[in-house]
Amino acid sequence: MAVAAPSPTSGSTSPTGGGTYWRVFVACACVKILFWPSYHSTDFEVHRNWLAVTASTPMAYWYADQPKQSPWTLDYPPLFGVFERFLSYFAKLADPMIVEPQNLDYAAWSCVAFQRFTVVAAELACLGGGVAVASGGAPEFAVLFAGPGLASLFVVDHVHFQYNGVFLGVLACCAGFLVKGQHVRAAVAFTLLMCMKHLFLTLAPFFGVYLLFAHVLAEKTTLGEKVLRLVDLGAAVTATAAASLAPLVVPAFHDRGGLAGVGAAVVELKGRLFPFGDRGLVHSYWAPNAWALYAFLDRVAMKASGREGGGATRGVVETQIEYLPAPGPLHCALLTLLAAAPALLAAARTASTQSGARGIALPALAHACLAAFAFGWHVHEKFLIVALVPLAFLALGKGPAGSSEGSRMLDAKLYRHVARLATFAMLPLLPSPGPELATKVLVLALEECCLRALLDRPPGCPCCGDSPATLLETLLEGAHLAVLLSLFLLKEVVYPLLLPADLAARLEFLPLMLTSVYCAAWVSALSLLSAGRLLYVAYRADASAW
Partner 1 sequence: MSAASELAQRALREKPGIKRYDSTDAVTARAPQGVQGARAKKLLAARALGSPERLRRFDSADHYARAAAAAPPAPAPAPSGKWLSWCAVAAGLVARHGCSLHPYSGEATPPRFGDYEAHRHWMEVTIHKPLADWYAYDVDYWGLDYPPAMAYLEYALGKLSHIIDPASVALETSRGYEAAGHRAWMRGSVLALDGLVFCSAVVALSGRLYGAGRDRAAAILAALLSPALVLVDHGHFQYNCVPLGLALWSAVMVDARRPLAAAALFCLALNAKQTALYFAPAVFCELLGRALAGGGAFAAAGEARGPRAAAPRVLALGGVVVGCFGLCWLPLAAAGAAGDALRRCFPVERGVFEDKVANFWYAAQVVLRVRDRAAPGALVAAAAALTFVAAFGPAGWRCYRVAAGRAAPSLRGLLWSLHAGALAFFLFSYHVHEKGIIVAAAPLAALHGDAPEYAAGFALLAAFSMLPLLHFEGLAVAYGALCALYAATLPRSRRPRARVAGLAAFALVHALPALAPPPARYPDLYPALAALAAGPLFGLAWLYASLMAATCDDKAKAG
Interface pick for partner 1 out of 433, 465, 478, 532 (rule CB under 8 A): 433
Stretch in the footprint of partner 1 (CB under 8 A) among 92-100, 182-190, 349-357, 456-464: 456-464
Minimum distance from CB of 108 to partner 1 (Å)?
Answer: 14
Angstrom CA distances, 147 to 9, 243, 361, 415, stand at 22, 33, 25, 15
- Output the furthest CA–CA distance in the chain (Å, rounded): 74
Residues in contact with partner 1, shown as a per-residue x/- string from 84 to 113 under the rule CB under 8 A: -----------------------------x
Length reported for the chain? 546
Q: What is the spatial distance between Cα 421 and Cα 520, in angstroms, rounded to a whole number?
A: 9
Examine residue 519 and tell whether it contacts partner 1 (CB under 8 A).
Answer: no
Interface pick for partner 1 out of 58, 275, 406, 434 (rule CB under 8 A): 434
Stretch in the footprint of partner 1 (CB under 8 A) among 327-335, 452-460, 468-476, 513-521: 452-460
Q: What is the spatial distance between Cα 317 and Cα 281, in angstroms, rounded to a whole number?
A: 10
Q: Would you say 151 or 422 has its CB closer to partner 1? A: 151
Interface pick for partner 1 out of 93, 442, 505, 507 (rule CB under 8 A): 442
Q: What is the spatial distance between Cα 209 and Cα 213, in angstroms, rounded to a whole number?
A: 6
Interface pick for partner 1 out of 223, 316, 438, 501 (rule CB under 8 A): 438
Minimum distance from CB of 532 to partner 1 (Å)?
Answer: 30
Q: Would you say 100 or 456 has its CB closer to partner 1? A: 456
Minimum distance from CB of 446 to partner 1 (Å)?
Answer: 4
The footprint of partner 1 on residues 1-30 (CB under 8 A) is: 1-5, 7-9, 16, 20, 23, 26-27, 30
Q: Would you say 86 or 109 has its CB closer to partner 1? A: 109
Examine residue 137 and tell whether it contacts partner 1 (CB under 8 A).
Answer: no
- For residue 35, the Cα-to-chain-centroid distance in whole angstroms is 21
Examine residue 443 and tell whether it contacts partner 1 (CB under 8 A).
Answer: yes
What is the rounded radius of gyration, in angstroms, for the C-alpha atoms of the chain? 23
Examine residue 435 and tell whether it contacts partner 1 (CB under 8 A).
Answer: yes
Examine residue 31 and tell whether it contacts partner 1 (CB under 8 A).
Answer: yes
Minimum distance from CB of 536 to partner 1 (Å)?
Answer: 32
- Cα 258–Cα 266–Cα 102 angle in degrees, nearest 5: 100
Examine residue 389 and tell whether it contacts partner 1 (CB under 8 A).
Answer: no
Q: Reduced to 3 states, what is the DSSP secondary structure of residue 41?
A: coil
DSSP bridge pairs for 313: 319
Q: What is the spatial distance between Cα 186 and Cα 174, in angstroms, rounded to a whole number?
A: 5
Classify residue 71 by burial, with Cβ atoms within 10 Å: 0-12, 13-18, 19+.
Answer: exposed
Minimum distance from CB of 390 to partner 1 (Å)?
Answer: 24
Examine residue 500 and tell whether it contacts partner 1 (CB under 8 A).
Answer: no
- Cα 538–Cα 543–Cα 545 angle in degrees, nearest 5: 80
Closest CA to 78 of 91, 56, 98, 61: 61
Interface pick for partner 1 out of 53, 347, 427, 446 (rule CB under 8 A): 446
Contact 177, 186 (CB under 8 A): yes
Examine residue 426 and tell whether it contacts partner 1 (CB under 8 A).
Answer: no
Q: Reduced to 3 states, what is the DSSP secondary structure of residue 220?
A: coil
* Strand 318-319, strand 313-314: pairing: antiparallel
Examine residue 437 and tell whether it contacts partner 1 (CB under 8 A).
Answer: yes
Closest CA to 514 of 425, 383, 415: 425
Interface residues toward partner 1, by CB under 8 A: 1-5, 7-9, 16, 20, 23, 26-27, 30-31, 33-38, 113, 148, 433-435, 437-439, 442-443, 445-446, 449-450, 452-453, 456, 458-459
